[in-house]
Structure 1
Amino acid sequence: MTRTLARLAAGLVLSAAFVTSAAAQETMRISLDTNPSHVRNHAIELFVEKLEEKAGDKLKVEVYPSAQLYRDRDVARALRQGAVEMAVPGTWVLDGAVPSFGLTSLPMFYGLPAEVTLELMDGEIGQKINERAEDRLRVHVLGPWLNLGFSNYYATGAPIKTHADMKNLKIRISGGTANAARVEGFGGVANMIAWPDVPMALSSHVVDAVSSTHESIASAKLWDSGLKHAFEDRQWFGQYVPMVSSAFWDKLDPELQDAITEAWAETVPEERRMAAEAQDAAREKLMSEGMDMTTPTEEQLAEGRRMLMPRQEGLVEEMQIDDELVSLAIEELRERGLLD
């Protein structure tokens, strides 16, 4: 009898340990709206691998690509409500909720090298933007942002060799006050068209040109829709922001938080290399399909920046971007000799 009771007691202890272990495992769902072949998705796969090594069985990670859970434009609200644990949306879909994410789309960043944007967003300015996002969206920003790359202009008819060639062109944009102001600043006509409708808009001559990235143009094979020329003017540099819902983050033990943070920090340098390689490969693909490339000189880009700067003050007010951050960015760029 005593031996039987002992066995039962031992069994209860093991069962309790199993239940405790199972209960201790957290599930983190990651929402992405790009397809599995996209560089962002590849980066998240890499992040998950690193995280699983560090967290062991304390965390179960599930990745949902292709907007299976949420589109990026809707995911900020889902994070705030605790309806999903993690997402990595682009700055261009976040500036409606946190206006300061629109900072790098302002005229002062037009034509600047990627390194300049990265230095500022990885530094004090980026940290201040993260703090505003954490407060407003009830999220925790894991660390540095992922890269997408530069937006440029791509045309169907005559090539765009200078900013003057954009006069009266009907140019497709993805939306955004700054994107429209940029087109209009060079004399073009901004036309907001959803990405799935772009091929038809080009083929039917609803628009003459498109604002996008090398990779996006190549993946959609838009040379088949009439695009023949690229004007590599580095309009603005797109990035993705790693956000974890505060409702989820705050209940994690410190060791698990550290594991997630470390895995992310290790992923970022590799993703940025992957993103740059993807854009370079897409550029080569576009040229192999017959698209010609016009790359403005630094002097031409600086002149384009000067043309757009008179619009900046009005944009800042309309977009409600934090004046403190705008002033900090202007100071940094002037110190580098990039602004008059």
Structure 2
Amino acid sequence: MSDAATRSPSAARRLRFLDTARALAVVAMLVANLVNVFAAERPYWLGHNLGDELLPLDLPAPIFQFLIGFSLVLFLERRGRQTERRRARWLAARRFLLLVALGVGLDAVAAQRVEIRWGVLQTLGMGGIVAVALSELPDALIVAIAAVITATHYGPGNNEVHRSLLDCLPFMPITLIGYVVGRPLAKGDLFGYERRAVTVALGGLTLAVALRLTGVPFNKVIGTSSFVLLAIAASASLIAMLSRLEVRGWRFPDSLVRLGASALTAWVLQYILVYYPIIYVFGPPPALPEAGGLAAVAACVVALAAVTLALARRGIRVPI
């Protein structure tokens, strides 16, 4: 990639590395969920949400939370050039409100009763709403707000993050830091963004390890401060690595990039094509041996990705 390209307004074009990051995150999120459906017998490391036990599949959902903030700053910069910034913020807020409503509806149908339930889409949407509300503030103030939330929700007293509107607060700093990391890129400063991403990755990892050594466990379920900082470090590391690969001329597969652009569609299809048929038609799947269960998970992920891409070709997708 030329120097001119690295300084071009990144908000004005889709970034392949960002869509790739979304695709990797959502595929891992789907695997984490579908393993619980089809693979009761599975390797221990494929588990997630086990409290104080940190496992690899605990990270994809908070990484997507980070990418929500990262994507938002690019969206606001791009739309801000086409219309007034206040309208751009309203468009973003409306999109996130609809995402929360979509999540509430999907989870209510899955629960087979009319009630407001909280979940992954709702937490992602709320992170976006909070980031929109703070989007005009200086970087230092946004970081300070994120730090206060993390410090006051470091562990004891936290409920499950996906339990309610208030209980998802510990994950909001992940979105806010994603927004701050993406700001230089929105202005076309790729190298400034990469420096910021690396700084956040190293700083987050250092603080996460320090908190863990003082006794704060890595617990995704309740969003302990050590886990939130670790998730921020992992997210910043991922996008820094992918953007550096793109700068060096690495071309990510087109199918992966297209899947990332429609990542939330794949998540929604999980309800429609997997959960609802199980709940309303077929009942729980039969117990499968480990190999059979993992094969079923792989087949489901491939099928969901294929349907997502087919819908995208027809212009049907849940926007990010």
Q: TM-score range by the shorter chain?
A: under 0.3
Instruction: Name the structure where helix makes up a greater proportion of residues.
Output: 2
TM-score scaled by structure 2?
0.27
TM-score scaled by structure 1?
0.26
- Bigger CA radius of gyration: 1
Greater relative contact order structure (CA < 8 Å, 6+ sep)? 2
